[in-house]
């Protein structure tokens, strides 16, 4: 099992460019999410999905777009990259747990630099 | 609202103990703990449930005080492999987690 696969691992963009971070999971998890990690800020939720065709905003959604057409894939689109979006991005998948929050399985991360 | 972790960083010698705290301003029903080693993805450690028992993982245990709205992670007889950043997470809408800012733990020989 590959778990959660993210591509690319590294990316450099110029301000204003657009790009898509890919995320795929093979665990048949219903939930998928995107977090960004910045020094001292922990992990902040960007967008999440509770199933195919259903997405919702997290804490820091501005400048990002998502869609979920299949259970397996959850791409994150940067519409017009800004230097403030320089960060490490983690995709995670999970299934519904009993504790009111799911146990997350993270991908290896994508390091994005916007010049 | 993001939970608050303290301390922000800890440096230990092998064999020493450490405590990492996680506090929330809102009522908690569960607290999740994750560890992230340098350059890697965060990995789930344990869940503390309201009214549940103290959980353990290796020589790492945790407690959850619902009244005080806080959880503490106890690392006993630290090993080099315990080095990394520890995050607590609290439930939010959509069965997702809101994470604290993290506590960097460095264990030296």
* pLDDT tens digits, one per residue of A96-113: 766 667 889 999 999 999
Interface of A with B (CB under 8 A): 31, 33, 35, 40-45, 48, 50, 56, 58-59, 90, 94, 96-109
Predicted confidence band of residue A82 (pLDDT cuts 50, 70, 90): very high
What count of CB pairs under 8 Å joins A to B?
Answer: 76
**Contact (Cβ atoms closer than 8 angstroms) between residue A64 and residue A78:** yes
CA separation, residue B66 to residues A10, A16, B30, B102 (Å): 41, 46, 9, 21
Mean pLDDT, residues A2-16 taken together: 96
In angstroms, the separation between the Cα of residue A38 and the nearest Cα of chain B is 9
User: Which has the minimum average pLDDT: A93-97, B5-9, B12-16, B33-37?
Assistant: A93-97
CA distance B63 to B51: 11
CA distance B32 to A104: 10
CB contact under 8 A, B102 and A56: no
Please enumerate, as own/partner, the contacts of B59-64 that have beta carbons within 8 Å and a separation of 24 or more: B62/B31, B62/B33, B64/B28, B64/B30, B64/B31
Q: Which among A31, A42, A45 has CB closest to B102?
A: A42
CB contact under 8 A, B90 and A50: no
Q: What is the predicted pLDDT for the residue at A39?
A: 83
Predicted confidence band of residue A19 (pLDDT cuts 50, 70, 90): very high
Predicted confidence band of residue A9 (pLDDT cuts 50, 70, 90): very high
Q: What is the predicted pLDDT for the residue at B53?
A: 57
Q: What is the predicted pLDDT for the residue at B65?
A: 85
A34 pLDDT above the threshold of 80: yes
In angstroms, the separation between the Cα of residue B24 and the nearest Cα of chain A is 15
pLDDT tens, B72-107? 999 999 999 999 999 999 988 888 999 999 999 999
Mean pLDDT, residues B58-74 taken together: 87
CA distance B21 to A74: 33
A2 pLDDT above the threshold of 90: no
CB contact under 8 A, B99 and A40: no
Mean pLDDT, residues A71-95 taken together: 96
CA distance B46 to A99: 11
- Residues of B in Cβ contact (< 8 Å) with A39: none
- Report the range out of A69-78, B38-47, B56-65 with the highest average pLDDT: A69-78
């Amino acid at each position: 099992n590959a778990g959660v696969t993210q591509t690319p691992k590294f990316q450099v963009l110029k301000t204003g460019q657009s790009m898509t971070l890919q995320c795929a999971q093979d665990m048949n998890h219903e939930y998928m999410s995107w977090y960004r990690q910045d020094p001292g800020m922990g992990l902040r939720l960007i967008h999440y999905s509770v199933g195919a065709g259903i997405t919702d905003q997290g804490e820091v959604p501005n400048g990002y777009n998502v869609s979920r057409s299949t259970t397996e894939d959850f791409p994150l689109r940067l519409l017009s990259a800004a230097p403030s979006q320089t960060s490490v991005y983690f995709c995670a998948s999970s299934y519904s747990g009993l504790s009111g929050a799911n146990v997350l399985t993270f991908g290896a991360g994508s390091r994005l630099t916007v010049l | 609202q993001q939970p608050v972790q303290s301390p922000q960083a800890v440096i230990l010698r092998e064999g020493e103990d450490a405590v990492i705290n996680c506090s929330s301003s809102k009522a908690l029903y569960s607290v999740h703990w994750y560890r992230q080693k340098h350059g890697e993805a965060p990995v789930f450690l344990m869940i503390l449930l309201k009214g549940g028992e103290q959980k353990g993982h290796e020589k790492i245990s945790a407690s959850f005080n619902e009244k005080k709205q806080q959880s503490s992670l106890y690392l006993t007889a630290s090993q080099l492999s315990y080095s990394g950043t520890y995050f607590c997470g609290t439930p939010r809408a959509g069965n997702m987690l809101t994470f604290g800012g993290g506590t960097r733990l460095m264990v030296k020989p």
